[in-house]
Structure 1
Amino acid sequence: MGLPPVVQRPELPVRSHLTVGGWLTLFVVRPAWLWRRELAAVWALGSVSAWAWLAAGWLAGVAGPVLLVAWLAAVPWTRQRAVSAWRRGRLRRRWDRACRFAGLATVNDRIPRIVRHREVPAGDRLMVRVPKGSERAELEEAAERVAAVLRVRQIRITRDVERADLAHVDVVRRDPFDGTDPRMPARLPWPWRDRRQVSLWDPVPVAVDDMGDTITLSLPGRHVLIGGEPEAGKSTALSAVLAAGALDPNVRLIGLDAKRLELALWRPVFDRLVFNNMGDAIDTLDELIGEMDRRYEHLEQAGRRSWRPSDGPLYLVPIDELRFYTACEDRKAREAFNARAIDLAARGRAAGMILAPATQKPSTDVVRSSFRDLLAVRWAMRCSTRDASDTILGAGWATNGYNAAEIDISTRGVGWLLAEGGLPRRCKSYFLSDAEISDIATRGAALRRLAAGDRWI
């Protein structure tokens, strides 16, 4: 049988034995094409050297290219462009090799081709075009083999919504949230913290994903569930939503805070704030349901099915430590609260009611599945087990690689965010310090006094 080759080569999908032309194409022309930018740079330097030699002698022919390279390396802009071009070329060569070893080459010797490349904090983001006769699912199936050849942490592949032959490929090389990347500080400042006024009808920036893109949430018509173990960053994630509501004078904030701590700094902007009192919590939900019913009467008379900004304010209802209310020892009070919370979550979206509960693990014994399933936006911070992660995001996500139990315990504020109709995105929430929260709450209270007509401020 003979010994194995010294140099590993992928299997060639050819129909017959190689001819001389085929051998030259596979082992000379194709590798040269992958090195085309570098070869073009060498040719350009050689041309400069030859011109300088002919014009001023052999010394100029040697010194000219050396001075040119030194000048290009000394200028930051050209140096960065050169380094970036080298990295792109190196990635394309390694991608070509990885796809061939993963068995993605077609019978016509075509592989998924990189058509766009962008460097991101976690590694590289690519747009890839699959060859004719192939499909994106084959690339997804080979993702682990491609990642092994590239020697990276992970390959994530999603389909382009416009074209079936295009796929978005995230090459994850590092964890940008570990504190070593200067582009991703330990505490990300909220982009809207210095704004005088915002609108909750606009998409609210809440986090940055590991590709460096800002994640926004369109809150009207949606409820948000935030879960995770203690000190995972649930209150930090909730702060961005609360801050947007505070800076919108047309938002009514109704809060439930079992610990009396997480929402205390926001007290100036709350219309009502309930602590660890089940009777007050139930009465508050009754008032919200009454307002919801009045709004549906208004929509019925107007001949519409959803709330608009011109109809009146939105209601934002953050609930910290949801477990205290949904799993109360008093069975009668617990059942009353759960029934009202389910009704408000089921019917409140079209009436401008936004629920934002936070809890450690919304399992069935803590939060009824009939209530949890009505919360479309799920944000899973670090969890102790994969089952807890699936409880927040939904069954099966951990098996598909979206497991909040794998988040490093030292990276507070990092989690998986699943918006309605999408895939979970690994992200880090924006951070607001106590001083920034107090400042935003003060500005929000002033905006509400102005909206009420108190012009003396």
Structure 2
Amino acid sequence: MVPQNPPPDDNNFDWTAAEADVQNVVDLDAARTRRNGEPGDTHFEVTLDEAPAPAGMPVEPPPSGAARRVPIVPVGWSTWPNIKHSIRQTLAVFAYRCGFHALRSPWYAILAAFWALVGVFRLAGRQIKWWWVTEQYSLRQAAADANDPAMWLKLHREAKGTRMWRFIVLSAELLTVVIGGPILWATAPWWVLALVVTAVVAFLAHVGRPDDRPIITPATVAGRFRRVNPDIILRAYYAAGLGHPDKPHQQIGFGSTMARDPSGTGSQVSIDLPYGKTFDEAVKARGAIASGLDVAISQVFISRDVSSHRRHTLWVADRDPLSAGAGRTPLLRCKPTDVWQPAPFGLDERGNKVFVDLLWNSILIGAQPRQGKTFAARLLALYAALDPYVKLTVLDGGGKPDWRKFALVADRCAFGLAMTRDGDPAEIVLEALREIKADVQDRYERLSKLPVDVCPEGKLTREIARNPKYKMPVRLVFLDEFQEYFDLGDISKEIASLLVYLVKVAPAAGVGFVDATQRPSGIGSGQVAQQFVSFRDNHQVRFSLRTGSWQVSDLVLGSGAYSEGHDSSTLLPSYKGVGILRGASDATPTVRTYLADADDAEKILIAARALREAAGTLTGMAAGEDVTRIARDVLADVRSVIERSETGAQWEEIASRLAERLPEAYADTTAESISAQVRAFGVRSVDVKRNGKALKGAKTDDIDAAIGRRKAA
């Protein structure tokens, strides 16, 4: 709260004037010395304001253009759409306040009448005291106590004269009310009487009402906030070890004036660290800076300035910006989406919208249980579902209800690990991953053969993905609780091998992965445990909700995140759906994800199925197809076990790999039997060198040619 008695002028230091005086290297004590001619001591204002008001020049967004000019017209009024938006916001607030007070107006009238009645007696008492000159009583009593009869008589005579004059005034006032009131009542129109009565009642209610008993309840309440000024910022940065006030080349400078941010939710300023100090050091010291500012760490945010690595923007929120949710997902409009555009994910700490690219990326989501991990992954899956040209695979190792409705749109889906009517979920997962691997390998081959005018860079394009003749739609695979698939015994070996291969290779072919786990530290032992780590570490985008320690946070966000100041273990348990997003952009924001509960998800998925039916893109399990493995496809199976870098494989290698990766179909196969089966399709048996030893086998090109002939037949 602002103090009633303002502090001395030295404590209300004019920062704008001081900035011109001290230029970029700021020493507030020296500035006060030059200004006041006497040594000044640093002051620290920590009072609370009741109604923060936006003021000053905003720091974000920075001035644009070569001349670093601030726009003449504010952004909010620069274009007609922005003007309309501002007007709509103003009218919406005005309408809300009108409705709020209109509903309570009868109660306001009752309170006003009651306090007006009290005000009549209070006003009468005040006027009687005024008439009787009660304020002089203490002076006459002092004269009597001092045994000064002359002064007492003088005061008494003045009191008598004043009382007579005031009596005349009060008599005239009473006559005006007694005579003028009935005349006004008889002659004045009704609207004049209404105005007079309203004014009189309001005046008397104001007189009768105690200061702490307001009649009108405010429709909006401005919260209290910690005032931040340059002195406090200097204290915080010096305490954090980012500079030294007494060393000329170790002083903190300011690149802008201290100002309220455009949204009016915090204070911000551009900070120039001493030469040699870096933005990364400021990020690491965020907790110490928060302590120096005497606020919670969740209120302090540091963003990079592209003009210099020692400069950054410090934003201190008035209150915890992460405690308020981002609201419902915009996907509830159920409009078609385009996976080639970023997916709306939530709001950052400053209320800016955050988007995530699903294409060309592998996304890892990690957290403790019940922190919103599944909801975050499902939010991205719902966006993909509303694009009817995206082929979805949903695999949930936990078997939770959250993903069940995706059976409406998913080409393949498996929930949990218990046997179902659709078969063994583990087998479905294995078959789905095998099919995806074969598709990825086939895509690379076909993309390389497309003409340059169709495929300019040898990569999947939107036109190719949406053209049915190419059969290369964007595919997105969502794995929740994927750690369960690494702990299934022998079958986990092939699943782990497939996952590692796909997370490394598939995104460039238009097959993206979104993977969530509550066990980022790993599971199992031996080769499977190593493959788990390899799978986890090959995700480009990381989103970590609350974790139990900084070590676990580093496993989710990637090595080095903690040293850069990013630690999801510092997030409060009450932050549901709040996490740190790393790798999606140059910034690493703390994101409040949009909410899509079970009912929202069902509504969106029903709409998504309708879009796919209209586009004719419903496939796999969602279309009622039986996707279980019925018969062996020898050519495809042999091709799937030959790695992309290999030009061929020996028959013994092929038989061994098939027995290891597809034991249910090739457990007893031999080099001779697999050779005979493959040669039946016209594939030659030729010498293949391996480790300096040449044995009979098959060339990759021959197998691909046989597959091509079969497709053309």
* Fold similarity call, TM over 0.5: yes
Give the superposition deviation at 1:299.
1.7
Does residue 442 of the first structure (1) align with residue 590 of the second (2)?
no
Give the TM-score normalised by the residue count of structure 2: 0.48
Corresponding residue number in structure 1 for 2:492: 334
Tell me, in whole angstroms, the C-alpha distance in 1 between the residues paired with 2:283 and 2:478. Answer: 39
Corresponding residue number in structure 1 for 2:353: 214
1:122 and 1:175 in contact (8 A); partners too: no
Give the superposition deviation at 1:220.
0.7
Tell me, in whole angstroms, the C-alpha distance in 1 between the residues paired with 2:260 and 2:409. Answer: 42
Give the superposition deviation at 1:195.
4.0
Give the superposition deviation at 1:348.
0.6
Corresponding residue number in structure 1 for 2:253: 111
**Equivalent residue runs for 1:357-372 within 5 Å:** 357-365=515-523, 368-372=532-536
Tell me, in whole angstroms, the C-alpha distance in 1 between the residues paired with 2:369 and 2:392. Answer: 25
Question: Structure 2: which 5+ residue stretches go unaligned?
Answer: 1-9, 12-21, 44-52, 54-219, 418-424, 466-472, 619-713
Corresponding residue number in structure 1 for 2:513: 355
Name which of 379, 385, 408 aligns with 1:240: 379
| Equivalent pairs, count | 385
Corresponding residue number in structure 2 for 1:204: 343
Aligned-pair identity (%): 23
Corresponding residue number in structure 1 for 2:404: 264
Deviation per CA, 1:362-382: give whole Å up to 9, x if none: 223356221111111111122
2:357 and 2:584 in contact (8 A); partners too: no
What is the DSSP-based 3-state SS (H/G/I as helix, E as strand, rest coil) of the residue aligned with 2:559? coil
TM-aligned CA distance change 1:127 to 1:365, over 3 Å: same
The structure richer in helix per residue is 2
Give the superposition deviation at 1:285.
0.5
Corresponding residue number in structure 2 for 1:65: none
Tell me, in whole angstroms, the C-alpha distance in 2 between the residues paired with 1:122 and 1:339. Answer: 52
Tell me, in whole angstroms, the C-alpha distance in 1 between the residues paired with 2:541 and 2:617. Answer: 36
Question: Structure 1: which 5+ residue stretches go unaligned?
Answer: 1-6, 32-37, 39-78, 179-183
2:270 and 2:311 in contact (8 A); partners too: yes
1:125 and 1:211 in contact (8 A); partners too: no
Corresponding residue number in structure 2 for 1:321: 481
TM-aligned CA distance change 1:126 to 1:340, over 3 Å: same
Give the superposition deviation at 1:388.
2.0
Corresponding residue number in structure 2 for 1:177: 322
Tell me, in whole angstroms, the C-alpha distance in 1 between the residues paired with 2:597 and 2:284. Answer: 44
| Greater RCO (Cα-Cα under 8 Å, separation 6 or more) | 1
Give the superposition deviation at 1:136.
4.6
TM-aligned CA distance change 1:408 to 1:145, over 3 Å: closer
Tell me, in whole angstroms, the C-alpha distance in 2 between the residues paired with 1:207 and 1:411. Answer: 14
Q: Which amino acid aligns with 1:256?
A: L
TM-aligned CA distance change 1:156 to 1:104, over 3 Å: farther
Name which of 289, 295, 302 aligns with 1:152: 295
TM-aligned CA distance change 1:168 to 1:443, over 3 Å: same
What is the DSSP-based 3-state SS (H/G/I as helix, E as strand, rest coil) of the residue aligned with 1:348? helix
Deviation per CA, 1:168-191: give whole Å up to 9, x if none: 22325543333xxxxx34x62112
Q: Which amino acid aligns with 1:373?
A: D
2:30 and 2:39 in contact (8 A); partners too: no
Q: Which sits farther off after the overlay, 409-418 or 131-140?
A: 131-140
Does residue 253 of the first structure (1) align with residue 392 of the second (2)?
yes
TM-aligned CA distance change 1:190 to 1:25, over 3 Å: farther
Corresponding residue number in structure 2 for 1:124: 266
What is the DSSP-based 3-state SS (H/G/I as helix, E as strand, rest coil) of the residue aligned with 1:248? coil
What is the DSSP-based 3-state SS (H/G/I as helix, E as strand, rest coil) of the residue aligned with 1:262? helix
Corresponding residue number in structure 2 for 1:71: none
TM-aligned CA distance change 1:296 to 1:162, over 3 Å: farther
Give the superposition deviation at 1:95.
4.8
Does residue 431 of the first structure (1) align with residue 595 of the second (2)?
yes
Larger radius of gyration: 2
Deviation per CA, 1:76-125: give whole Å up to 9, x if none: xxx99xx99x999x534445653786556674987223357454899636
Corresponding residue number in structure 2 for 1:98: 235
Does residue 344 of the first structure (1) align with residue 499 of the second (2)?
no
What is the DSSP-based 3-state SS (H/G/I as helix, E as strand, rest coil) of the residue aligned with 2:445? helix
TM-aligned CA distance change 1:87 to 1:113, over 3 Å: farther
The structure richer in strand per residue is 1
What is the DSSP-based 3-state SS (H/G/I as helix, E as strand, rest coil) of the residue aligned with 1:263? helix
Give the superposition deviation at 1:301.
1.3
Name which of 454, 461, 464 aligns with 1:308: 461
Corresponding residue number in structure 2 for 1:289: 437
Q: Which sits farther off after the overlay, 436-445 or 255-264?
A: 255-264
Tell me, in whole angstroms, the C-alpha distance in 1 between the residues paired with 2:30 and 2:602. Answer: 74
Tell me, in whole angstroms, the C-alpha distance in 2 between the residues paired with 1:19 and 1:436. Answer: 59
RMSD across aligned positions (CA)? 4.0
Tell me, in whole angstroms, the C-alpha distance in 1 between the residues paired with 2:409 and 2:482. Answer: 21
What is the DSSP-based 3-state SS (H/G/I as helix, E as strand, rest coil) of the residue aligned with 1:192? helix
Tell me, in whole angstroms, the C-alpha distance in 1 between the residues paired with 2:32 and 2:608. Answer: 76
What is the DSSP-based 3-state SS (H/G/I as helix, E as strand, rest coil) of the residue aligned with 2:358? coil
1:383 and 1:405 in contact (8 A); partners too: yes
Give the TM-score normalised by the residue count of structure 1: 0.72
1:361 and 1:391 in contact (8 A); partners too: no
Q: Which sits farther off after the overlay, 136-145 or 261-270?
A: 136-145
What is the DSSP-based 3-state SS (H/G/I as helix, E as strand, rest coil) of the residue aligned with 1:347? helix
TM-aligned CA distance change 1:236 to 1:25, over 3 Å: farther
Tell me, in whole angstroms, the C-alpha distance in 2 between the residues paired with 1:19 and 1:296. Answer: 67
TM-aligned CA distance change 1:217 to 1:358, over 3 Å: same
Corresponding residue number in structure 2 for 1:66: none
Corresponding residue number in structure 1 for 2:36: 24
Give the superposition deviation at 1:271.
1.3
